[in-house]
Amino acid sequence: MSNNNVKSAIEALLFASDKPLNIQQIKEALDSQDTAGIRTAIEELRNEYEINQRGIRIIEVAGGYQMVTAVDFAPFLKRLFKRRRIERLSQPALETLAIIAYKQPLTKQEIQLLRNVNVDGVIKHLLEKGLIRISGRKKAPGRPYVFSTTRQFLEYFGLRSLDDLPKIPQLNQELNLEGDRKDGTEKTTPEN
């Protein structure tokens, strides 16, 4: 298969898939391509879309590649889909999910101790949405379930891996800046 045909085939696979495809899945679908050739073709496609300012991009997410719309065209997409209801996560769900993402694996009791509230309903909701999973049992009395995030969590937040999560000091700094913007005041630190 020529290089252009390989790129076209990869483009078709990414376009048709509603989930990110990893290199192995692409390799199996193409039946005879080497890994390095597939990576090169994907990079060439990514560059072509970027250079030609196309309406789509290929991003690396959750250990695979996915075709998405370019950020520049978000206003047009918002108008097109303004009636489409997007289900957002509640604040308690986001808080619980953040705890699991940063401290996984952990039990429901450990989450409740950190949040200081009952999380039964939130855990059930996150499990139903596929953002967390039961990843085993803790070797403790009662053998409670331990929870971890899923690949769908990475997809939902556009992350390649958990390593892409903001580091805690960076997150604290961003949250402080966000607080400054909301109330219009500037936080100061006491002088020594």
Domain extents in the chain:
3-78, 91-183
Contacts of 153 (CB under 8 A, 6+ apart): 97, 101, 131, 132, 159
Task: Check whether 102 has a pLDDT greater than 70.
Answer: yes
| pLDDT tens track for 171-186 | 555 555 555 544 444 4
CATH of 3-78, one of 2.20.28.270, 3.30.1540.10, 1.10.10.10, 3.40.640.10: 1.10.10.10
Q: Give the pLDDT band of residue 144 (cuts 50, 70, 90).
A: very high
pTM (2 decimals)? Answer: 0.56
> Omega before 105 cis (within 30°)?
yes
Contacts of 10 (CB under 8 A, 6+ apart): 26, 30, 38, 41, 42, 45
